[in-house]
Amino acid sequence: MNLKTVEFSESFAREMDFKDSLAQFRSRFYFPKVKGQEAIYFCGNSLGLQPKMVKDYLDQELKNWAELAVDGHFQGEDAWYHIRKKSKPALAEILGAQEHEVVAMNNLSVNLHLLMVSFYRPTAERFKIIIEKGAFPSDQYMLESQVKFHGLNPDEVIVELGPRAGEYTLRTEDILAEIRNQGDQLALVNMAGLQYYTGQLFDMKAITAAAHEVGALAGFDLAHAVGNVPLQLHDWEVDFATWCSYKYLNSGPGNVSGIFVHERFAERPDLPRFAGWWGHDEGQRFAMEKGFLPMFGADGWQLANSNVLALAAHQASLDIFQEAGIQRLREKSEQLTGYLEFLINKISGESGILEIITPENRSQRGCQLSLLIHRGGKTVFDEWYQQGVVGDWRHPNVIRLAPTPLYNSFMDVFRFGKILEQSLKKFA
């Protein structure tokens, strides 16, 4: 998108939609209604929309269950015993991983704990953890409880890294400097890949390299990165990661999470872990004998048999991602969010009512823009909702808007611009 030709006009938005090769994907999703009208849905960062095909995928498994019952574990094209394998090609593409490095399982917060068991091994000398300040609460509680579990004091272990005074987001150079500063004492960098509140995308490659240089590990919570920005976890040498599937991955409320464990840990039965039968060597699982033998790769971290119905809904969405392609999605995403940014700056402009705190640099953000609202507060946000805009409000004064390239259009952004223009007039 050429910034010189961008316009706050319906004809411009229609033209962009007309040229958009991903425009057809919109019709594959159900849109919620606000006051009887189809919403302008900018909340995929919180809960992605339902793909219309989800019902068919679920119906297929309900049919298998009805017709095969227990035999469904081993019979049919998608025998449940191996069902975890089905999502691997798509997940590998989305995460930039080898198939054996990823597996869908559990929920995000559960996976964070399981991964910490293996990858946070504090010693008297090396015990510190770096996390970004203001991390998602579940991640903070997880860290605090893990540290206490090891009998350590969270205040002495957890290093929270905040922005410089007067700034809203972190500078990569400051993150790298803190890693070097902690040096030999640093055990782990455990940050978000993309920060939920500010929308900042961190340089995971540089952070991982810096962590490794001082002898520490790097793991990321990709809740807001997965399905939003292209990832190359394998090549970046990230040690481990986890995510959820109900935000940009559109797999349904509370649906299954996934983990990434780098190949270099694929054959490390010595790594401590909390084990269950589904992580045990598949060939010998039904020998029902004692002596845990972890499966190769990420599969060796599974505890329990797959939640088949959850995976069915997940697959309906993953198939769409494979069809659309993460690179193509990213190209559109930069344009769509660029358009939203342009309109907000143009409309709010001099009034100073709205301030975008998400980095301007496209390589440091995904589709979400976080807006600090200086006047009007939640009243403004509520008014947008009355006009059909579904975004989200974060206490005390941030609005997050996430136009997603799969199902949002340039007309959505334009229509939001019109609503914004009206609502800000009152506070000018």
- In the complex, what is the shortest distance from the CB of residue 392 to ligand PLP, in angstroms, rounded to a whole number? 12
Helices within 158-272 (DSSP H only): 172-182, 204-213, 233-236
By CB under 6 A, name the one of 50, 64, 87, 109 that touches ligand PLP: 109
192 binds ligand PLP (CB under 6 A): yes
Longest pairwise C-alpha distance within the chain: 73
- In the complex, what is the shortest distance from the CB of residue 41 to ligand PLP, in angstroms, rounded to a whole number? 17
- In the complex, what is the shortest distance from the CB of residue 350 to ligand PLP, in angstroms, rounded to a whole number? 34
Measured between alpha carbons, how far is 83 from 179 in angstroms, rounded to an integer? Answer: 40
Size of the residue set binding ligand PLP (CB under 6 A): 12
By CB under 6 A, name the one of 93, 139, 203, 334 that touches ligand PLP: 139
C-beta of residue 374 within 8 angstroms of C-beta of residue 354: yes
For 362, the token pair is 């496209």
By CB under 6 A, name the one of 108, 115, 186, 298 that touches ligand PLP: 108
- In the complex, what is the shortest distance from the CB of residue 144 to ligand PLP, in angstroms, rounded to a whole number? 14
198 binds ligand PLP (CB under 6 A): no
367 binds ligand PLP (CB under 6 A): no
Only one of the segments 121-129, 144-152, 219-227, 330-338 lies at the binding site for ligand PLP (rule: CB under 6 A); that segment is: 219-227
401 phi, psi to nearest 5 deg = -125, 125
Distance between start and end Cα atoms, the chain: 30
CA distances from 126 to 233, 328, 348 (A): 25, 42, 48
By CB under 6 A, name the one of 57, 119, 136, 220 that touches ligand PLP: 136
Residues 390-419 that bind ligand PLP (CB under 6 A): none
138 binds ligand PLP (CB under 6 A): yes
Q: In 3-state terms, what secondary structure has residue 117?
A: helix
Residues 275-304 that bind ligand PLP (CB under 6 A): none
Burial class of 6 by CB neighbour count within 10 A (0 to 12, 13 to 18, 19+):
middle
Please name the residues in contact with 407: beta carbons below 8 A apart, sequence gap of 6 or more: 25, 26, 28, 29, 31, 41, 44, 49
224 binds ligand PLP (CB under 6 A): yes
Question: Smaller CB distance to ligand PLP: residue 353 or 402?
Answer: 402
248 binds ligand PLP (CB under 6 A): no
243 binds ligand PLP (CB under 6 A): no
Measured between alpha carbons, how far is 244 from 254 in angstroms, rounded to an integer? Answer: 8
Angle, CA of 117, 170 and 143, to the nearest 5°: 20
Measured between alpha carbons, how far is 283 from 363 in angstroms, rounded to an integer? Answer: 44
C-beta of residue 294 within 8 angstroms of C-beta of residue 279: yes
- In the complex, what is the shortest distance from the CB of residue 133 to ligand PLP, in angstroms, rounded to a whole number? 14
221 binds ligand PLP (CB under 6 A): yes
By CB under 6 A, name the one of 50, 107, 404, 423 that touches ligand PLP: 107
Question: Smaller CB distance to ligand PLP: residue 231 or 354?
Answer: 231
Question: Smaller CB distance to ligand PLP: residue 347 or 398?
Answer: 398
Interacting residue ranges for ligand PLP, rule: CB under 6 A? 107-109, 136, 138-139, 192, 196, 221, 223-224, 244
